[in-house]
A = this chain, B = another copy of it.
Amino acid sequence: MGVVASLPPAALPGETPVRVDDAEDALSTLVTLVGADLEACNRAIIARMDSPVALIPQLAAHIVAAGGKRLRPLLTLAAARMCGYQGARHVHLAACVEFIHTATLLHDDVVDESLLRRGLASANAVFGNKASVLVGDFLFARSFQLMVEDGSLKVLDILSRAAATIAEGEVLQLVIQNDLSTSEDQYLDVIKGKTAALFAAACQVGAVVSDRPAEEEQALAEYGMNLGIAFQLVDDALDYAADQQTLGKTVGDDFREGKITLPVLTAFAAGDVAGQAFWRRTIEASEQTDADLDEAMRLIERHDGIAVTLARATEFAANAKRSLTVFADSPLRRCLAAVADFTVSRAR
C-alpha cells in the first residue's frame, strides 16, 4: 500500500494534468480533479445555508468554514465525474451530503459535549447547545429541500435511508457506551451506521445522477461503505495515537467518553487481570484519573491495539479499491483508489 502509480497527464476536459506520486497526495489530487465542481459546491453550500434568521448562517458558517476536508461531497463529485456525468446536479447533491454531515456533526458535538472540532472551538462551545441542535435540524431540513429541488425520488430514497441509518448508528453507539462486552461485530455496526452509510450514499448518488447501471451504482455504494469503515477505524486508532498532530481533535476524547472502539476491545480481550480491571474501572465505571490516558495508550500499545485496528482498516480499504474494478481505468478511478490508501496511510 501507500504508493500509487502516477496518473496520466489529462484528467477531465479543461482540468490541469495531475500526478499522484503517493497516497499522501490523494486528497489534494481529488480536489484538483474536481476543483471547479468543488468550488461550485462550496458556493451552493454558502448560498443555501442562508436564512432570514441571521444566527443560522452565522453558526453554520462556523462549522462549514472550519476547514473540513469536504471528503463526502468530494466523493459525490468524483463518483459522478468518473461515471461520465456532464451536468450540474451532482454539485447540489454534494451540498446535500455536506449538509447532512454538518447536521450530524452539530448534534454529535452536543451529544459528546465536545468543546473542540477540528482544533477550533466547537459550535456548541461558541453558540450553545440549543442553537447547535436547532441549526442542525435546519441544515437537515434544508438538505431535503435541495433534494426535492433536484427532483429525484431515488436520490431522496438513498439519502433519507442514510440519514435514518446514521441516527441508528449513533443511538447504538450510545447503547454500547461503557460496555466492554461489546463484540467487534456490534462495534462495526456502529461505525457502518454513524460513518460509512453516508460515505456509501455520497458515492452511490454519483452513479444515480449519471444514470449508470445497477452494478456500477452498487459498486460505488460498496466503495463508499468500505472506505467509510476504514476511515472510522483509523479515526478510532488515532484517538489513542501519541504523536498525531494532524487530527485537529484532542487525543483521548473517546477514552474520556467511554467509547467502545477496536483499540480498546483489542487491549481488553488480550489483557491480564490487572489490565482488564483497568478497563473496567476507566471505561465501564467511568472512573478516570489524569494518568489513566497514558496507561490506556500503554496497554493498547502493548497489545497491538493500534496495529490490529489499522490492519482491519487496510482490509476495508482493499475492499473499497476492489469495488472500483467494474469501472474503466481513469484518472478519477485511480485517484479514488489512492484515497482508500490515504485513508489508512494518514495514520502511519
Contacts and interface: CB of A to CB of B under 8 A. Distances in A.
Given A144-B144, A148-B156, A55 B137 contact: no
Interface in A106-156: 107, 110-111, 129-131, 133-135, 137-138, 140-142, 144-145, 147-148, 151, 153, 156
Question: Which interface residue of A56, A140, A144 has the most chain B CB atoms within 10 A?
Answer: A144
B157 A107 contact: no
A267 interface: no
Contacts of A168: 51-53, 56, 138
Number of copies: 2
B144 A53 contact: no
Contact of A144 (B54, B103, B163, B170): B163
A285 to B, nearest CB: 18
Contacts of A293: none
Interface stretch (A82-90, A171-179, A271-279): A171-179
A167 interface: yes
Contacts of A140: 137, 140-141, 163
Interface string A85-108: 000000000000000000110010
Contacts of A134: 107, 111, 167, 170-171, 174
A103 B141 CA distance: 12
Interface in A48-96: 51-56
A127 B70 CA distance: 33
A348 interface: no
A59 B174 CA distance: 13
Contacts of A161: 145
A167 B111 contact: no
A157 B144 CA distance: 8
A164 interface: yes
Contacts of A55: 171, 174-175
A32 interface: no
A160 interface: yes
A145 B167 CA distance: 13
Contacts of A163: 137, 140-141, 144
Nearest to A152: B153
A151 B134 CA distance: 27
Nearest to A59: B171
Nearest to A150: B153
A170 B156 CA distance: 25
B133 A160 contact: no
Given A53-B172, A55-B175, A107-B134, A141 B157 contact: no
A206 B320 CA distance: 45
A347 to B, nearest CB: 28
B174 A131 contact: yes
3 smallest CB-CB distances across A and B, nearest first, come from: A138-B167, A141-B163, A141-B164
17 contacts: A52-B168, A55-B171, A56-B167, A104-B137, A110-B133, A111-B130, A134-B167, A134-B170, A134-B174, A137-B140, A138-B164, A141-B160, A142-B164, A144-B160, A145-B157, A147-B156, A148-B160
